[in-house]
Amino acid sequence: MVGLGGSSGAVLVDISRLSDSSDVVDDVSDVAISSKKLHHTPAALLARSAKSSIRKRARLLFLMALLLVVSALAVLTLHRHSKQTAQFSDDVDASSFPTHAAKAKAKAIETAAKTEASSMATATLVAQPKVNTQAQSQPQASQKTTSSSNADVTRQQAAVIHQSLVNAWKKPEQNPPPPPPPPPQTPPPPQASQKTSSSSSSNADVTRQQAVVNAMRHAWDGYKKHAFGFDELRPLSQNGINNFGGLGATIIDSLDTLWIMGLKDEFRDARDWVASKFTVEDKGGVYISHFETTIRIIGGLLSAHDLSGDRVFVEKASKVASRLKPSFESTSSGLPRNLIRLDNGQPNIDNPYLVLADVGTEQLEFQALTDRSRDLSYGTIACKAENVLLDEMKDKPFLPIAIATDGTPHGSHISLGAMGDSYYEYLLKIFLMTRQDPSYTRHAESWVQSMDGMLNKLVATTPSGLTYVDENRNGAPGRSFHHLVCFVPGMLALGVMQLDNLDSWRRARYRDAAEKIGEFCYNLYAKQPSGLAPEYSTISNSPEVEVQPFEAKYVLRPETVESLFLLWRMTKDVKYRDWGWNIFQAIEKNCRHTVGYAGLLDVRLLNPQKDDAMQSFFLAETLKYMYLLFSDDDTIPLDTWVFNTEAHPIKMTKPLISGSCERL
Residue 215 has pLDDT above 60, yes or no: yes
pLDDT band at residue 171 using 50, 70 and 90 as cut-offs: very low
pLDDT band at residue 74 using 50, 70 and 90 as cut-offs: low
What is the model's pLDDT at position 14?
37
Which has more confidence, 207 or 202?
A: 207
Dist CA 604 CA 181 (whole Å): 52
| 292 counts as catalytic | yes
Residue 111 has pLDDT above 80, yes or no: no
Give 330's DSSP letter: T
What is the model's pLDDT at position 55?
65
Sign of CA dihedral 68, 72, 73, 78: positive
Which residues does 603 contact at the CB level (< 8 Å), separation at least 6? 528, 529, 530, 532, 533, 534, 549, 552, 553, 554
Residue 167 has pLDDT above 70, yes or no: no
- Average pLDDT (137-145) is 39
Q: Where are the beta strands (DSSP E) in 205-302?
A: 232-234, 239-241, 287-289
| 329 counts as catalytic | no
Residue 51 has pLDDT above 80, yes or no: no
Dist CA 630 CA 26 (whole Å): 109
Residue 1 has pLDDT above 60, yes or no: no
Q: Point out the catalytic residue in the list 535, 562, 611, 646.
A: 535
Dist CA 364 CA 11 (whole Å): 98
| 421 counts as catalytic | yes
Which of 280-284, 328-332, 333-337 is predicted with the least confidence, judged by mean pLDDT? 280-284
Average pLDDT, the chain: 80
pLDDT band at residue 145 using 50, 70 and 90 as cut-offs: very low
The identity of residue 162, as a single letter, is: H
- As a whole number of Å, the end-to-end CA separation of the chain is 101
Q: What count of Cα atoms within 13 Å lies in the side-chain half-sphere of residue 13?
A: 22
Q: Point out the catalytic residue in the list 559, 562, 611, 639.
A: 559
Sign of CA dihedral 645, 646, 647, 651: negative
What is the model's pLDDT at position 545?
67
Dist CA 658 CA 236 (whole Å): 49
Beta bridge partners of 403: 354, 409
- Average pLDDT (619-647) is 98
Which of 180-184, 419-423, 634-638, 654-658 is predicted with the least confidence, judged by mean pLDDT? 180-184
Residue 24 has pLDDT above 90, yes or no: no
Which of 54-68, 98-112, 275-289 is predicted with the least confidence, judged by mean pLDDT? 98-112
Q: What count of Cα atoms within 13 Å lies in the side-chain half-sphere of residue 218?
A: 19
Residue 22 has pLDDT above 50, yes or no: no
Percent of the chain surpassing pLDDT 90? 65
pLDDT digits (tens, 9 = 90+) for 464-499: 899 999 999 989 999 999 999 999 999 999 999 999
What is the model's pLDDT at position 82?
47
Residue 285 has pLDDT above 90, yes or no: no
Residue 163 has pLDDT above 80, yes or no: no
Closest to 480 measured CA to CA, from 548, 557, 381? 548
Q: Point out the catalytic residue in the list 266, 306, 371, 421.
A: 421
- Average pLDDT (280-296) is 91
Dist CA 486 CA 346 (whole Å): 35
pLDDT band at residue 203 using 50, 70 and 90 as cut-offs: confident
Percent of the chain surpassing pLDDT 70? 70
What is the model's pLDDT at position 281?
86
Closest to 290 measured CA to CA, from 247, 232, 352, 254? 247
Query: How does 40-52 read in b/e, with b if 16+ C-beta sit within 10 Å?
Result: eeeeeeeeeeeee
Q: Please state, as a whole number, how many other Cβ atoms lie within 10 Å of the Cβ of residue 312.
A: 17
Sequence length of the chain is 664
What is the model's pLDDT at position 52?
54
Which has more confidence, 333 or 49?
A: 333
Dist CA 432 CA 356 (whole Å): 21
Q: Point out the catalytic residue in the list 292, 365, 437, 611.
A: 292
pLDDT digits (tens, 9 = 90+) for 587-609: 999 999 999 999 999 999 999 99
Which residues does 310 contact at the CB level (< 8 Å), separation at least 6? 271, 304
Longest dimension (CA), the chain: 167
Residue 392 has pLDDT above 50, yes or no: yes
Dist CA 652 CA 664 (whole Å): 16
Query: How does 190-220 read in b/e, with b if 16+ C-beta sit within 10 Å?
Result: ebeebebbeebeebebeebbebbbebbebbb
pLDDT digits (tens, 9 = 90+) for 525-584: 999 999 999 999 999 888 766 888 889 999 999 999 999 999 999 999 999 999 999 999
| 406 counts as catalytic | no
pLDDT digits (tens, 9 = 90+) for 222-261: 999 999 999 999 999 999 999 999 999 999 999 999 999 9
